[in-house]
Amino acid sequence: MPELPEVETIKNQLNKLVKGKTFRSFEAANEKSVKTEIKSFKMNLKDRKIEDIKRRAKIFLFELSGGQTLLVHLKMTGQLVFAKDKKDFNDKKNKHTRAVFSFKDGSFLLFNDLRKFGWLKLVKSENAAEEIKEGQLGPEPLEKTFTLELFRGILKKRPNKKIKQLLMDPYLIAGIGNIYSDEILFLSRVHPVRQTKNLKPREIKKIYENIGFVLKEALKARGTSASDYLDARGKEGGYDKKLRVYGKKKENCPICGTKIEWLKLNGRSAHFCPKCQN
């Protein structure tokens, strides 16, 4: 599933590739991906100009002319891939292309989704915050407002929660997913099932510091293509090569050489070194 670095990468690229473009048409091979009535969606999208593209947690907000906002969530296997012309479109279109946005300058934006969990929704801009449950989502971990004091407060409110689960909860901290929670906890030398009330002050500080370090490191590498992720140019991310524990079950720990272990935590995987993390 695309996590914060992947969604932020795509957002930044799309602001360079499609910001300022005007929609000509929209076609959906899978209308279930569109959560707005399809006829209304097409009609209200046509001739709208993209004024800005923002992100909240893992949701894209395309701010359009005329007070409309296009919401896009990639969920587990979604992709947003830009094609500069018809030839590029034909090269990038595949059997998992669920919808196509056409622009008046002859370029395209493809919405691909293998598992069909992703969705598109067109709403009035004044209702966008309510649609994405803005008030319920946690703080953005790369914003300056995400301070150590704020992080300590989040931990204090959930004393019995396992630290990996807390890091992955979008209603507590927005955007950190399975991959990066593993990497953050490994670098912090903290076991993923530790309850937050048992964390020492130095461990809390280390986790906080590594949240910023890992996310920025992954963003610089354009994210991780551990599964189906492609950036807006149709390229794989480069952070796969830097992963230390995620997806490394039974491989040697890069610090001590102990075999990396794996466990299930509420249906999600957790990779860790049994010696380095306690």
Catalytic residue set: 2-3, 58, 268
Rg (CA), the chain: 20
- Closest among 195, 245, 180, 248 to 6, alpha carbons compared: 180
- Both tokens of 214, joined, read 């890992």
Residue pair 111/78 in contact (Cβ under 8 Å)? The answer is yes
Alpha helices in the chain (DSSP H): 4-17, 38-45, 86-92, 128-131, 148-157, 163-168, 178-187, 201-220
Q: Could you write out the DSSP letters of every residue in 245-271?
A: STT-TTSBPTTT-PBPEEEEETTEEEE
Q: Please, which residues bridge with residue 23 across strands?
A: 103
* Dihedral, 112, 267, 197, 146 alpha carbons, nearest 10: 0
